[in-house]
Chain A
């Protein structure tokens, strides 16, 4: 460090660089202290206020467990679903999305992997790439295909059938799983 201190007897050519170096060091120090502060207060504050999860005491497992092992849980459920055909709610990714998705001022769901949303914020913080949502839905599109929401689905399905045909993805998928498929032929008949 001592050789970076300004030297009163330094040569004229070096002197203009010294303040620059100091300024750089100062900025680095500021940056480090900011990161330290974030670490102290940041972890665990990523649940979005407007999500259903914010109103619950803990996730499907104790919070500490989920923080460390959620990926194991999801991966286990993944193989159970793909190979065994069991789409249970408890550890399903659709359940994560359903509960953790935030809502904007118009009560419309915001994609869970969007900036400042639950998944993205923490994964950004931890610098871990998140690629679940290359394939998986980022919004609870009204079609959990799981035990809890099956009845809701059936109800919506019947309501939507009586309303008729809507194919556009945003609305069609919000209104129920097989709504689009089942309602379309009816639309054709009319």
Chain B
């Protein structure tokens, strides 16, 4: 009985989603039907041209995800965090003058956090990088009042900063504390990663790389370059991808799997 109470009802979630989407669905019906045809036509083309920049809209033929082997994640190593900061220009933002150092450290945007877990019974310590888990049913998307927080067709959960009003409801809703809010004006921005004050942001699986046909992320590259190979990025929908093969070879878990969010980021050795 208690198990039933704790279980999140997918049916309830679907019902609420259907009720909210009923009005929009009627309008978008024709458009989505056209979209299916376009995706079907483009699939053969896109399959050959993986290395080229994208010319067709993203489709649900791929779902990008990661497998993180916590056994390989080294204590004290921050290669993935640093690489993420550089890739997305987070390191270009410096502490505002006159700001309290502790406040800055608490509030500065971070897309990957290194988390250290200790099992008190056994003393076993586990290190892992925690970022946006790119849920199939993202709570941040459910709560967003403007639709700015959305899931792209290829499974990437991200923020459309053009419509984000900075209410930070998604930060509250995320079970993984994955999202950050930009409190201060951003002087230096990168072309590939626009970001500015007043918007929420989080890991987007280096979508600018994916859009250019690359299938790597800055964190997985940095982890591999550091010799750890703890982060494996790939396509969850391709049964032959190295990611799926690695997942088949060893048990892996979702963090907070009881929420049934079907995360795109999985952890082995946890």
Q: Which residues of A contact B (CB under 8 A)?
A: 78, 80-88, 94, 97, 134-138, 140-141, 143-147, 150, 167, 169-170, 172-173, 177-178, 180-182, 184-186, 188-189
Contacts and interface: CB of A to CB of B under 8 A. Distances in A.
Interface stretch (B96-104, B172-180, B190-198, B254-262): B190-198
Contacts of A144: 191
A74 to B, nearest CB: 11
A116 to B, nearest CB: 19
Given A88-B55, A181-B221, A188 B226 contact: yes
Contacts, number: 117
A180 B207 contact: no
A86 B197 contact: no
Interface centre among A81, A82, A146 (most CB of B within 10 A): A82
Contacts of A146: 53
A172 B190 CA distance: 10
B192 A145 contact: yes
B58 to A, nearest CB: 4
B194 to A, nearest CB: 4
A134 B197 contact: yes
A150 B54 CA distance: 12
B79 to A, nearest CB: 7
A132 B94 CA distance: 21
Given A86-B211, A143-B190, A143-B192, 16 more contacts: A85-B54, A85-B57, A94-B191, A134-B186, A134-B196, A134-B197, A135-B189, A136-B191, A137-B190, A137-B191, A145-B212, A181-B221, A182-B221, A182-B225, A184-B86, A188-B225
B191 A141 contact: yes
Contacts of B86: 167, 172, 180-181, 184
A145 B211 contact: yes
Interface in B61-87: 79, 82-83, 86-87
Given A85-B152, A86-B57, A180-B87, A135 B222 contact: no
